[in-house]
Amino acid sequence: MSDPALSMLARSRTIAVVGLSPKPDRISHQVAARMQRWGWRLIPIYPRGDQILGEPVLRDVDELPEGVDLLNVFLGEDKIAPVVARALERGVKGVWVQPGARSPEAMAMCRAAGVDYVENRCIKVDAGYFIREGVLRPPGASIDRSD
């Protein structure tokens, strides 16, 4: 698998989503809901609330359990690097920054740590494409390729 996005998705079972809104009309919520539907376990990270998408909410990246497979980031550019630095300390194995934000600093930190990093690509779009093409089977999910 030469595409880091495909590699990350294929080996991931758990996705921590920082900036996951509890509001169903927000893109972070829609993306996370689809990833959950496809079989990934979500860990919402949001400063308020008790549950999002039926999962208990963590207030901060510092609360992540060790070794989360993938951190999916829905934050402004100025907040990405500090969050990624703390996630790397917690042993996160991959970082995915959604479209509209970039962080050369976070990318450099991930490369130095040997952690895959993807930015400016939508995790839902990429996962959907890989599933439809038959090159990705999400964890624990029976997939309708029309999804």
pLDDT at 147 over 80: no
Q: For the chain, how many structural domains are there in total? A: 1
Residue 57 lies in a domain: yes
pLDDT at 1 over 90: no
Nearest Cα neighbor of 11 from 126, 123, 94 is: 94
Residue 142 binned pLDDT confidence (cut-offs 50, 70, 90):
low
Residue 146 lies in a domain: no
Residue 55 binned pLDDT confidence (cut-offs 50, 70, 90):
very high
- pLDDT at position 67 is 79
pLDDT at 146 over 70: no
Q: What is the mean pLDDT of the chain?
A: 93
Residue 141 lies in a domain: no
Residue 114 lies in a domain: yes
Residue 72 lies in a domain: yes
- pLDDT at position 143 is 53
**In the beta sheet, which residues pair with residue 18?**
45, 73
Number of Cα atoms under 13 Å in the Cβ half of residue 105: 10
Question: What Rg do the C-alpha atoms of the chain give, in angstroms?
Answer: 14
Select the more confidently predicted residue: 30 or 141. 30
Contact assessment for residue 21 and residue 29, using Cβ atoms and an 8 Å cutoff: yes
Residue 117 lies in a domain: yes
CATH for 106: 3.40.50.720
Structural domain boundaries enclosing 29 = 4-132
Return d(Cα 8, Cα 20) in angstroms, integer. Answer: 20
Contact assessment for residue 53 and residue 36, using Cβ atoms and an 8 Å cutoff: yes
Residue 81 binned pLDDT confidence (cut-offs 50, 70, 90):
very high
pTM of structure: 0.92
Nearest Cα neighbor of 123 from 13, 8, 42 is: 8
Contact assessment for residue 31 and residue 128, using Cβ atoms and an 8 Å cutoff: no
Give the residue carrying structure tokens 């495909």. 6
Residue 147 lies in a domain: no
Residue 144 lies in a domain: no
Residue 4 binned pLDDT confidence (cut-offs 50, 70, 90):
confident
